[in-house]
Structures are given as C-alpha cells and as structure tokens.
Amino acid sequence: MTEIALTRVPDPRGRVPVSDTEPAVPPRRSRWKTWAPALLFLLPAIVGLLVFRLIPIGWAFALSFTSWRIFDDVAWVGLDNYAHILTSPVSREVLGNTLWFTAMYVPGVMIVSVTLAVLLNNALRSSAFFRGAFFLPYITATVAVTLAWRWIFSTRFGLLNHLLGQVDIDRIAWLADPAWALPAVAIVSVWKDAGFYMILLIAGLQTINPGLYEAARVDGAGAFRRFYAITLPLLSRSLFFVLILALVRSTQTFEITYALTNGGPNRASTTLAFYIYQNAFVHFEMGYASALAYVLCFVIGLITLLNFHLRRRWVHE
C-alpha cells in the first residue's frame, strides 16, 4: 500500500525514476543510500512516537485494569475500576460536573465567538484593535490571568461583586458557593478561549463572497435574515470545526480549575480531567486514574464520532 504510494513521489534527489535509464526499483545498495538519511531524519520522531505515545497509550490501558497505589504492589482487578467509575457517587458527581461545565462552556464560547467574528467582519475600521483585544486573553499566561480573576471574584473586595452591586445585585460568593464555583470556572474559560475561536471563524467568514450579501440586501433581506440565510450555512464548516474543538476542550479543563478553585468547594468544581490529576498525583491511585483517563478518551471519541455522524445534517458542503 505504502510502496505503491511512494513510487509516485519524486525521490529525494528530486527526480522521478525513468524506466529506460534506470530500474524503477533501485538495487539494494542504492535503496539503502536513499533510506538511511530519511531514517536518520525521522529517528527522533519515531523514538518520540514510541516512547511518549504508543507505549504510554498501551501502558495506561493495562494499568486501567489494575489497582495500584504507586508504592504498593500491582494487583490485577479486571473491570473493577470501570465498574467503580459507573457506580461510585463521587465519580458520578464528577461526570455530572463535567457535563454541566460542557453545557455552559460550549454554548457560551460559541455564542460569544460567532457574535464577535460576525461583528468584526462588518466593522468599518480599527478592527485590528478589537481583534488584538479579543485575542489577548488567549495568548497570555493562564495561571497569571486566572489569579487575577480569583481576585476579581473575591466575595467582599472583588471587582465583580462591586460592579454587580451598582445594579443592585447581591454579593455572590463566586468561589466559595458550590453552586457558583463551576460557573466561575466556565466564565474564565469562555473569556480566555473565545478570541481564539473568533480568529478561526473570521478566517471562515472571509471566504464568503460579499456579493451574496449585496444581492440579499437588494432583495430586501434584513440583517438577521442575511445572517440565517447566508452566514450560518456558509460558515457551517468552520462552525463544525470550532464546535468539535470546544467540545473536546471542555472535557479537559485543568489549569484554570487548579488556579481558581482547586476543584472546590468540596468537589463542586471538580471535572473529569482535574479528577484524573487528583487521583493520579495527589492520591497516587495510578490504576483508577488510568481507567478514568480511558473513560475521558472514550467520551472524547464518542463526541467526535457523533459530531461527524450529525455533520451531514447541518454542515453545508
């Protein structure tokens, strides 16, 4: 299969083998002379693929069927870890939190980034300033800005409660109230990531032919009509890509949780990725953490497959 594909590629010396002056398949010695440099060039990548990808993926899978605290002996437990994940109230709470977080983060980030992208695409001038301002949260140090948010969320002295107080909203204990801790993580995550998705969507918007809007306007279509009839269908490929990225990312939040709430109060803001970290590196339950990681991997795979299945229904090709 690969051999066939390779014969169509020019060889590294940049020429296509010509059959009457030299054989299409060179003799063994000269074959090695072309393969050896390629092998050397790829050596780091191949070692990395084995040592940091393939072997760990298999190793973690094997570990997920064991009970192993790092200083004890390894005990084979079959499917116990997975059964425990499905039945234990703690892991169910964590899975519920993850779902709730996704339900806040994905619509939040989609609405904000689509709105910003469409507005910026319609702005007359100075969009460079806005683009920069909206993208800034994404490129700046996560821990630093999350700590700034932690200070903003402070119940008594925080800026947010002060601002809300101006419109007569009572103080919210953002980080101490179990009902608000996870929404706070979601707010910071949306704030940080929306600009990144916006950039992807602007690239998609710029491929839409402006003549379509002109034609629609001449036909008397209003701004909302133009958005629904032209922008959404023609942007659907970018939207699909952004939706998948956002869904996958929503299951993997770690830094912001760690710096903002540390998963608390109690477990109120502990989502799956953070729970895996706690199990593996706070309690050193390597077997259970590996099983959780495979559940996460399975969830991500399922989301992606489901999306590709539904893609035909709404993505305009």
* Cis status, amide bond into 137, omega within 30 of 0: no
Beta bridge partners of 75: 67
Shortest spacing between CB 17 and other proteins, in angstroms:
11
- Scanning residues 215 to 244, which ones bind other proteins (CB under 8 A)? 223
Select the residue interacting with other proteins from 83, 103, 111, 123 (CB under 8 A): 123
Q: Number of residues in contact with other proteins, rule: CB under 8 A?
A: 89
- The DSSP 8-state label assigned to residue 48 in this structure reads H
Q: Looking at 6-14, 74-82, 173-181, 227-235, which segment touches other proteins (CB under 8 A)? A: 6-14
- Scanning residues 169 to 198, which ones bind other proteins (CB under 8 A)? 191, 195
17 part of the interface to other proteins, by CB under 8 A? no
Q: Which residues of 192-229 are buried (b: 16+ CB within 10 A; e: fewer)?
A: bbbbbbbbbbbebbeeeeeeebeebeeeebeeeebeee
56 part of the interface to other proteins, by CB under 8 A? yes
Shortest spacing between CB 81 and other proteins, in angstroms:
13
Site string for other proteins, 91-120 (x = CB under 8 A): ---------------------x--xx--xx
- Scanning residues 131 to 160, which ones bind other proteins (CB under 8 A)? 133-134, 136-137, 139-145, 147-152, 156-159
Contact 235, 187 (CB under 8 A): no
Indicate the burial class of 46 (C-beta count within 10 angstroms; 0-12, 13-18, 19 or more).
Answer: exposed
Q: Looking at 92-100, 231-239, 253-261, 307-315, which segment touches other proteins (CB under 8 A)? A: 253-261
Shortest spacing between CB 46 and other proteins, in angstroms:
6
- Scanning residues 286 to 305, which ones bind other proteins (CB under 8 A)? 286, 289-290, 292-294, 296-297, 300
Shortest spacing between CB 142 and other proteins, in angstroms:
5
CA distance linking residue 287 with residue 76, whole number of Å: 9
CA distance linking residue 228 with residue 233, whole number of Å: 7
CA distance linking residue 245 with residue 304, whole number of Å: 9
Contacts of 238 (CB under 8 A, 6+ apart): 200, 201, 203, 204, 205
260 part of the interface to other proteins, by CB under 8 A? no
First to last CA, the chain: 30
Q: Looking at 71-79, 102-110, 169-177, 277-285, which segment touches other proteins (CB under 8 A)? A: 277-285
Q: Looking at 35-43, 101-109, 171-179, 230-238, which segment touches other proteins (CB under 8 A)? A: 35-43
